[in-house]
Structure 1
């Protein structure tokens, strides 16, 4: 594990033994996977110190050296901060994981929108003296609930973006679908594209983007003819779980857009767990998201067992 300390705008990292002999260039570009342009900007702006001196980016570092990175400069949040009561699942200087309620967008769809989770996250950060940009790493549909990851500074955002792209961030969902799933486990690999006949729908389409959804049957409720399933995504297409499950004949309960019956006021889909390789600590962060609202949908289910 890497040791971190914060000093105002600076984050101090004590070089661990297994970094012995690495250069700062190698740490930032190869270990962390920072983009070339971002690395160049850090270098030009002298945003890295080694033992309180301007860093030599190509010189080997030694165990116990103190590296300081200027991660925490004040900046425009990118959205209009707006108060909304939020449920924080995890927070440190680099990441914020929130439990999104139903009926709320992840981020604004226009510059003046203020009622989204990103607006609430920006307000929360400013209330705690953090005047920085807030970036969502992934999204949830308006009526899907559960864990969403935000980055609290630019380098964390770039690293987490790459981790998501490389499938190192694991997202686990719970869904209630109509009918009895016959296979206990399976993977749906079908490309997803826009539905030309509907402005918001997606559909399985040969010309769409590759999409892969893994599912596992947890329990079948014969009285309601509903199956509780756990899903893990290999890709993050819009409406992916909803489209894939509808495609195999098991639409989400409440998801009238994709053939579900209106047994609930919204689709029965909840992002129950998020597993994140911390961008700097070299340890996993695991967040479980309790059911904030609509308790009748997932009544009696323990979110911490998944």
Structure 2
């Protein structure tokens, strides 16, 4: 399937094999009912530029146009800030996030977040849709973060994330030498009632599963470089779990780490990999390091 943006419309071309507009939306893309209803109300689907019955079979050379860039509030004030983009098409955007940047505003007046910068970027492309981040990273966590450019892509990516079909791999520098080269941490995480933002291992918390593998150790500095993947997405999961096994992230003073090397937790979303929900191409991106926390480490040697 190929696509091309034409103003506020997105055009799809394929050998449709007798599919209908309705089967595309409901069966192939599994679009949310609310979005399908809105497209009906807006007369937001055309075939070869004409309104059609949604149950009419499509012909092999038909061009399906969908009003997916309908103007709406960005949800964040467009504000210029340089973005490190390493994948972009008409449907999604993958950015290498810097440290010290929130993903989205927490107050109406906040304008220095990633969402503000993405809104500005979309505006420059003539796209005036809501900024839709598919997942989050902590303020001081760096690396790959995924955004959708329209509601259909967002719905499909959200479902893929819930089904763990978007693989995200992290790397962290932790205190101490981890002697067990690989393992799984499967302990629940809940809120710490004594601290407003801190999480802790708790029997009454939600299940959290983290898999780790030691990539390299640095005996002189008593540090380990660890690769991590998650089966669940709890707040601060990696930070809590690594602290729980006695190897807090360097710089992570909230969970027992020390900041003698860096002033933030040394956690980086190193790689994101998934099957593109619309074009079906394999998307695999390695996000290069951007700061001194990992200054002497060749990331590509581990993910090439």
Smaller-chain TM-score bracket: over 0.9
Post-superposition CA distance 1:206-235 (Å, at most 9, x none): 222222211111111111111111111222
Which structure 2 residues correspond to residues 100-119 of structure 1 after superposition, within 5 A? Answer: 100-119=97-116
Question: Which residue in the other structure is 1:40 paired with?
Answer: 37
The Cα of 1:298 is off from its aligned counterpart by 4.2
Post-superposition CA distance 1:70-123 (Å, at most 9, x none): 111222211111111111111111111111111111111112211111111111
Question: Which residue in the other structure is 2:180 paired with?
Answer: 183
Question: Which residue in the other structure is 2:230 paired with?
Answer: 233
1:120 matches 2:132 = no
SS in 1 for 2:140: coil
1:275 matches 2:273 = yes
Question: Which residue in the other structure is 2:11 paired with?
Answer: 12
The Cα of 1:6 is off from its aligned counterpart by 1.9
Which structure 2 residues correspond to residues 50-89 of structure 1 after superposition, within 5 A? Answer: 50-89=47-86
Question: Which residue in the other structure is 1:266 paired with?
Answer: 264
Question: Which residue in the other structure is 1:218 paired with?
Answer: 215
Question: Which residue in the other structure is 1:143 paired with?
Answer: 140
Structure 1: which 5+ residue stretches go unaligned?
none
- Of residues 98-107 and 206-215 in structure 1, the stretch that sits farther from structure 2 once superposed is 206-215
- Of residues 238-247 and 201-210 in structure 1, the stretch that sits farther from structure 2 once superposed is 201-210
Question: Which residue in the other structure is 2:254 paired with?
Answer: 257
Question: Which residue in the other structure is 1:289 paired with?
Answer: 287
1:131 matches 2:128 = yes
**What is the alpha-carbon distance in structure 1 between the residues aligned to residue 55 and residue 231 of structure 2?**
36
Q: Normalising by structure 2, what TM-score? A: 0.94
Confirm or deny: 8 A CA contact 1:289 1:303 kept in the other structure: no
Which structure 2 residues correspond to residues 150-169 of structure 1 after superposition, within 5 A? Answer: 150-169=147-166
Q: 1:45 to 1:95 in 2, by over 3 A?
A: same
Confirm or deny: 8 A CA contact 2:217 2:225 kept in the other structure: yes
Q: Note the aligned Cα RMSD (angstroms).
A: 1.6
Confirm or deny: 8 A CA contact 1:272 1:303 kept in the other structure: no
Q: 1:88 to 1:304 in 2, by over 3 A?
A: farther
Confirm or deny: 8 A CA contact 2:168 2:271 kept in the other structure: yes
Q: Normalising by structure 1, what TM-score? A: 0.94
Confirm or deny: 8 A CA contact 1:291 1:303 kept in the other structure: no
Q: 1:13 to 1:199 in 2, by over 3 A?
A: same
The Cα of 1:128 is off from its aligned counterpart by 2.8
The Cα of 1:272 is off from its aligned counterpart by 0.8
